């Protein structure tokens, strides 16, 4: 860990926005106060639009507001690139590294290396199982899944479907969040399968959550079910849109409710049109701000009490966490996502969507 004169040299190189160095008087056994420089590694651009359209934007917003240096990169679902980016960031002198892991194994290697070099670490959005991050910042992901299960159930009831066959398009098998989402929607739907109120249809986890692959997988599911799928629990808007594209081919869109997550522009438009039942809005601005605040505190050698921990089931560790609250979005409250500044009216209500927006009270 750099201290004393080395810390001052690093501060000289990294100073932005008038932050000054303080001595290492944190009393925590050696976390030297440094001028914050934050590295962020985003996972990909094919599993969800959010990483580039929301997370990058809101992280930049938070870092700029705090006047700290930052470097945000996207590993584009390449685990080797992920490690290379992390190495480069550590060499460049980041004081904190925030990662959205591609899987727990490679995530852990990156976190452990950063830790050994005195770099603070945060699991951003996804918990790295067996990892060593100092904090975990995310949403209550089991609740995300519960909202999806309840949403699908509500839409099936609204459509009056009896004994519906429900297919699952789960997220990436290597994403701990996907496990939590499924635990959430299973808590609502499994009792209905068990009581035979609903029928469990095909279920697949989509590798890396890749939206393009999801369309192929859903087409196979529909074939396997002889065209009889009455509801689709899709783990996010990208996967939901993939299912909708196949339902369209079969003239079933609008008849078969599909869930989502991330309140993407496309997802919200699918809801307005009636092809998607609901989405789950997660206020990424708050997530980015919470993670940024923690990364800056860590650089200063401060320890923040988040007031909450999450048990890492693999490492057995209680990880200090910030877990934000997700919100279910239906046609009636698409306007809330726009009012929150997550997407703009111009994007969502473009062209043919203008009338649907007006009908949904988006002014
Ligand atoms: C995130 C979701 C996202 C998915 C695919 C999950 O870890 O929590 O918001 O849709 O990854 O990128």
- Å from CA of 93 to ligand 1 middle: 28
Nearest to 287 by CA among 174, 140, 155, 173: 140
Residue 25 has pLDDT above 60, yes or no: no
CA distance 329 to 76: 28
Question: pLDDT band for position 7 (50/70/90)?
Answer: very low
Stretch 186-199: mean pLDDT: 98
Stretch 42-53: mean pLDDT: 98
Q: Which numbered atom of ligand 1 lies nearest the CA of 126?
A: 7
Cross-strand bridge partners of residue 70: 38
CA distance 77 to 45: 8
Mean pLDDT for all residues in the chain: 92
Q: Is 304 exposed, middle or buried (0-12, 13-18, 19+ CB in 10 A)?
A: middle
Residue listed under structure tokens 């910042």: 137
Q: What pLDDT shows up at residue 34?
A: 82
**Cβ–ligand 1 contact at 177 (below 6 Å):** yes
**Cβ–ligand 1 contact at 77 (below 6 Å):** no
- Taking a C-beta distance cutoff of 8 angstroms, is the pair 261, 49 a contact? no
- Å from CA of 300 to ligand 1 middle: 30
Task: Find all residues with CB under 8 Å of 195, minimum gap 6, and list them.
Answer: none
Q: What pLDDT shows up at residue 8?
A: 35
Q: What pLDDT shows up at residue 17?
A: 32
Tokens representing residue 252 in the block: 């079933």
Selected residue with higher pLDDT from 336 and 3: 336
Q: What pLDDT shows up at residue 331?
A: 98
Question: pLDDT band for position 32 (50/70/90)?
Answer: low
Residue 4 has pLDDT above 80, yes or no: no
CA distance 321 to 314: 16
Residue listed under structure tokens 């849109």: 241
Choose one of 209, 285, 287, 291 to mutate for the ligand 1 pocket test, by most ligand atoms within 8 angstroms of C-beta.
Answer: 209
Stretch 119-131: mean pLDDT: 98
Stretch 114-128: mean pLDDT: 98
The predicted-structure confidence for 251-298, as pLDDT tens digits, reads as follows: 999 999 999 999 999 999 999 999 999 999 999 999 999 999 999 999
Cα 292-294-296 angle, rounded to 5 deg? 70
- N- to C-terminal Cα separation, the chain: 54
Q: What pLDDT shows up at residue 31?
A: 53
Name the pairing type of β-strands 135-139 and 120-124. Answer: parallel
Stretch 21-40: mean pLDDT: 60
Q: What pLDDT shows up at residue 298?
A: 93
Residue 196 has pLDDT above 90, yes or no: yes
Q: What pLDDT shows up at residue 28?
A: 40
- Taking a C-beta distance cutoff of 8 angstroms, is the pair 136, 320 a contact? yes
Q: What pLDDT shows up at residue 301?
A: 86
**Buried (b) or exposed (e) across 240-262, using 16+ Cβ within 10 A?**
bbbbbbbbeeeebbbebbbbbbb
Which of 2-6, 80-84, 266-270, 313-317 is the least confident region?
Answer: 2-6
Selected residue with higher pLDDT from 13 and 218: 218
Stretch 232-259: mean pLDDT: 98
**Cβ–ligand 1 contact at 182 (below 6 Å):** no
Residue listed under structure tokens 């359209």: 53
Task: Find all residues with CB under 8 Å of 354, minimum gap 6, and list them.
Answer: none
Residue 248 has pLDDT above 90, yes or no: yes
CA distance 57 to 101: 19
Tokens representing residue 314 in the block: 């693999």
Residue 345 has pLDDT above 70, yes or no: yes
């Amino acid at each position: 860990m750099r201290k004393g004169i080395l810390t001052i040299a690093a501060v000289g190189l990294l100073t932005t926005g008038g932050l000054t160095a303080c001595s290492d008087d944190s009393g925590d056994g050696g976390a030297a106060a440094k001028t914050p420089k934050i590295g962020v590694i985003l996972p990909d651009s094919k599993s969800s639009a959010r990483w580039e359209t929301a997370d990058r934007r809101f992280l930049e917003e938070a870092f700029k507001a705090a006047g700290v240096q930052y470097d945000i990169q996207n590993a584009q679902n390449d685990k080797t690139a992920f490690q290379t980016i992390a190495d480069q960031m550590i060499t460049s002198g980041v004081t904190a590294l925030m990662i959205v892991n591609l899987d727990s194994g490679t995530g852990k290697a990156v976190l452990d290396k950063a830790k050994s070099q005195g770099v603070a670490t945060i699991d951003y959005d996804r918990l790295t199982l067996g990892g060593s991050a100092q904090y975990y910042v995310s949403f209550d992901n089991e609740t995300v899944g519960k909202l999806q299960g309840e949403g699908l159930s509500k839409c099936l009831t609204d459509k009056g479907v009896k004994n519906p066959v429900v297919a699952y398009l789960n997220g990436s098998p290597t994403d701990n969040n996907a496990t939590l989402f499924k635990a959430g929607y299973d808590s609502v739907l499994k009792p209905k399968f068990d009581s035979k109120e609903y029928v469990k249809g095909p279920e697949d986890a989509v590798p890396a959550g890749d939206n393009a692959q999801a369309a192929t997988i859903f087409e196979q599911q529909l074939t396997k079910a002889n065209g009889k799928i009455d509801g689709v629990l899709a783990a996010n808007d990208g996967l939901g849109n993939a299912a909708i594209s196949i339902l369209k081919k079969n003239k079933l869109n609008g008849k078969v409710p599909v869930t989502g997550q991330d309140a993407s522009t496309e997802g919200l438009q699918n809801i307005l049109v009636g092809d998607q039942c609901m989405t789950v809005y997660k206020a990424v601005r708050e997530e980015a701000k919470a993670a940024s605040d923690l990364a800056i505190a860590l650089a200063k050698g401060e320890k923040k009490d988040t007031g909450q921990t999450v048990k890492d089931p693999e490492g057995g560790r209680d990880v200090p966490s910030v877990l934000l609250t997700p919100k279910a979005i239906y046609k009636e409250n698409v306007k809330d996502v726009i009012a929150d500044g997550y997407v703009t009216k111009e994007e969502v209500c473009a062209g043919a969507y203008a009338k649907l927006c007006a009908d949904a009270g988006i002014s």
